[in-house]
Chains A and B, each alone.
Chain A
């Protein structure tokens, strides 16, 4: 959500800023079709109370789940523009305006800095609701700035991927963001600042084929769709049905491309553990007392 809107609403801290869904509303599970209230869903980490299906959530939901209370949004002043004047069924600039209006977001990626179990972490998270979480110049630049920020302060970076891939309306510029984010991550690796890649449903295309696969640790939510080519494209190419469970988190774990799969209820603990192990000295008070 943009800063102007937040101020207009008179809300002072970022954690309270996202659009709250009314708690009394009912949600019908996409998978098992059983209903639960939004309140129940929220209390269950946005997972179906019957079948544990992980409902797709947005960047601010993850920030709320993970950060110890408050967090600071970074680089929120970077906006996409329709510099190619790209028009398919509608002009790109119209798509952008509609997406901003619909989602109250600036673009498909939001970056925030905060603490997870008292240890600093920068999280760059995607919103699928904003043009399919697509990667354009804004996402590339936000990741680039986040890397600089993390290098400067020696804070680990976590990227939460949830994207259909490149933003076609930015053509080769979106393709080049794969290279841009990769050269920046090479600096993280060289400097020995940890980078965690967290893949959620769905992560495909150029996002998977660049930073999402390049974590020091790669992990995913259960049953997320993760792949390079989309299932429809593969099916059309090989003219065969795809095997059961193809391109799921479990499939990737089994084939050696993920370190582990984590249930959303354990996510904060697991990330806290990673931070503890990778950045043991990042809690000053602990050092003093020990």
Chain B
């Protein structure tokens, strides 16, 4: 088990528990009373820790090395799934995966950012940071979904689009922008879920949809707390402060009306009971798709446009003069 910094009290309890269990096995002593007491204590401690997570702690949880990633959800939710590779222009990006699958009888085109499960795979997946080909593959799959009238599901989990020389040469900005304008008018329903990290343009590049949800221990922001700290505080040391200031938690995002809901995670995070999280995501997708599928294409696209067009906080000040009287 991997414990995060703020989970240290849990780690020592788990260590104690292991020791007692060992003593029980070795010495043929009845330790069941002590074990159950410790287990209660662990549960209680976990509840305490998780009832008041800070923004930064949620960021850490979203990056937990044992957290389930995109393909884990896809493979466990879909009875059948065929991964489809490549953008048909340049290559197959490994940081965005997708394909066609079947969730309880409903065929969907499902895709998302993919991180690696071990050191080698993390490199292979480029830490979930896609190049332009990833966004172009995603768009190709969305167009395929549109052709066959299948809903699109996007699972978001990225520390950002990759900032590299080749990414710029091949138009990282254009790839993300193209996805945004195409997703705006896509004729089939689009459901988006932040399942881990939702960093900036790299996240929204597959994140424009009819409904957007976040899992409980995730974040969504215009910039990572680390980069925000380095730019605005001119030092890497203010990431906790930046995480608070950015108001990037699902609770904040829901409060602002920027997302449509939050998926509860098992106590301690999705990684503590990943199959429970799979089931809950699957149930959620089915429930949310039903009304979207029922809508007419036109209504759905109009609602999608209205949803985004209404986002923004500003003051409209009264202007004392008629503008037309001043100029022209």
Choose among A172, A187, A242 the residue with the greatest number of B CB atoms under 10 Å from its CB.
A172
The proximity string for B residues 278-319 relative to A, scoring 1 for CB distances below 8 Å and 0 otherwise, is: 000000000000000000000000001100110111111111
Q: Is there a chain A Cβ closer than 8 Å to B147's Cβ?
A: no
CB neighbors of A among B223-252 (8 A): 223, 227-228, 231-234, 238, 242, 245-248
B81 to A: closest C-beta gap in Å: 28
How far apart sit A228 and B258, CA to CA, in the bound complex (Å)? 24
Q: A209 near B168 (CB under 8 angstroms)?
A: no
Q: Which residue of A lies closest to B259 (CB)?
A: A172
> Which residue in A138, A184, A214, A234 is a CB contact (below 8 Å) of B177?
A214
Q: A173 near B312 (CB under 8 angstroms)?
A: yes
Q: B311 near A213 (CB under 8 angstroms)?
A: no
* Binding-face segment, A35-43, A53-61, A86-94: A86-94
Q: B163 near A185 (CB under 8 angstroms)?
A: no
B20 to A: closest C-beta gap in Å: 46
Number of A-B contacts (CB under 8 A): 223
Q: B201 near A3 (CB under 8 angstroms)?
A: no
B200 to chain A: which residues have CB within 8 Å? 166, 175, 206
> Which residue in A78, A211, A255 is a CB contact (below 8 Å) of B171?
A255
Q: B163 near A234 (CB under 8 angstroms)?
A: yes
A197 to B: closest C-beta gap in Å: 10
Q: B163 near A229 (CB under 8 angstroms)?
A: yes
Contacts A172-B256, A228-B167; is A211 near B222 (CB within 8 Å)? no
Q: Is there a chain A Cβ closer than 8 Å to B15's Cβ?
A: no
Q: Is there a chain A Cβ closer than 8 Å to B328's Cβ?
A: yes
Q: Is there a chain A Cβ closer than 8 Å to B153's Cβ?
A: no
Q: Is there a chain B Cβ closer than 8 Å to A127's Cβ?
A: no
Q: Which residue of A lies closest to B229 (CB)?
A: A88
Q: A172 near B221 (CB under 8 angstroms)?
A: yes
> What are the 6 A-B residue pairs with the smallest beta carbon separation, nearest first?
A229-B163, A137-B312, A182-B180, A88-B232, A208-B173, A228-B173
- Taking Cβ atoms with an 8 Å cutoff, the residues of A that contact B are 3-4, 6-7, 12-14, 70-74, 76-81, 83-84, 86-89, 137-138, 140-141, 144, 166, 168, 170-180, 182-187, 189-190, 205-206, 208-214, 227-229, 233-234, 237-238, 240, 242-243, 246-247, 251, 255-257
